[in-house]
Amino acid sequence: MTTPAPLSLLDPDDATLRRLHDRLERDAHLDGLLDLAYTTVPTPVGELLLVSSAEGLLRVAFDLEDHGAVLTGLAARVGPRVLRSDGRLADATRQVEEYFAGRRRSFDLALDLRLVSGFRLDVVRHLREIGYGSTESYAEVAAATGRPAAVRAVGTACGHNPLPVVVPCHRVVRSDGTSGGYLGGPAAKDLLLSLERSAA
């Protein structure tokens, strides 16, 4: 009769699994075998998914977008080698936490903007120029990007912003001052605007 393996070999503890994961993460990074790294951050607007490529932060996703579906889509579009890497995203995580604590007014992160192009890219670039605690109307953003008639297209571009919160599409509001639509939902947009007004 064969002697069963010790339980410790069959059921590695959390510390062992963490060490194995950390080694896999380190080796994949050093060998250039990682297409995308991700982590999650709890925030007042729900858990945010942060995804990074070698070039920089690529995607921020809200809970309601379905993090698993977001990662699956990115794996198909960018590359299939995807791994949770809290360490690689530590700086992004820290900055997001500082923002929600009211201690950060702008993000200092390398960004990978490959998920947007054309007019949407122009809009995303302009969004980074809207100051903390300030807002612009969709019409003002359209004018600033050189296409004053493209008000509806600005709304679409904001709705497809791959880096909400970090690239502040929540600062774009309707001409009458009401908040308008938002990828994370109206409550999330209102919370972000209130946070910035109170900390400004």
Place of tokens 């990662």: 71
Higher pLDDT, 8 or 189: 189
pLDDT tens for each residue of 39-71: 999 999 999 999 999 999 999 999 999 999 999
Question: Quick one: which of 45, 179, 164, 40 has its CA closest to 100?
Answer: 45
pLDDT tens for each residue of 177-194: 899 999 999 999 999 999
Q: In the predicted model, what is the mean pLDDT of residues 119-125?
A: 98
Q: How far apart are CA 75 and CA 58, in angstroms?
A: 12
* pLDDT given for residue 29 in this prediction: 54
* pLDDT given for residue 9 in this prediction: 47
What are the catalytic residues? Answer: 169
* pLDDT given for residue 56 in this prediction: 98
Coil, strand, or helix at residue 38?
Answer: strand
pLDDT score of 13 more than 80: no
Higher pLDDT, 160 or 21: 160
* pLDDT given for residue 8 in this prediction: 47
The band of 199, judged by pLDDT with boundaries at 50, 70 and 90, is: confident
Percent residues over pLDDT 70 in the chain: 84
CA 119 to chain centre: 20
3-state helix, strand, coil in the chain (%, to 5): 45, 10, 45
Place of tokens 């904001």: 158
pLDDT tens for each residue of 25-40: 555 555 567 999 999 9
Higher pLDDT, 26 or 118: 118
Degrees, nearest 5: CA angle 159-163-169:
50
The band of 18, judged by pLDDT with boundaries at 50, 70 and 90, is: low
Q: Where are the alpha helices (DSSP H) in the chain?
A: 7-10, 14-30, 67-77, 90-100, 118-127, 138-144, 151-159, 186-199
CA 48 to chain centre: 7
DSSP string, 171-185: GEE-TTS-----TT-
Q: How far apart are CA 68 and CA 143, in angstroms?
A: 37
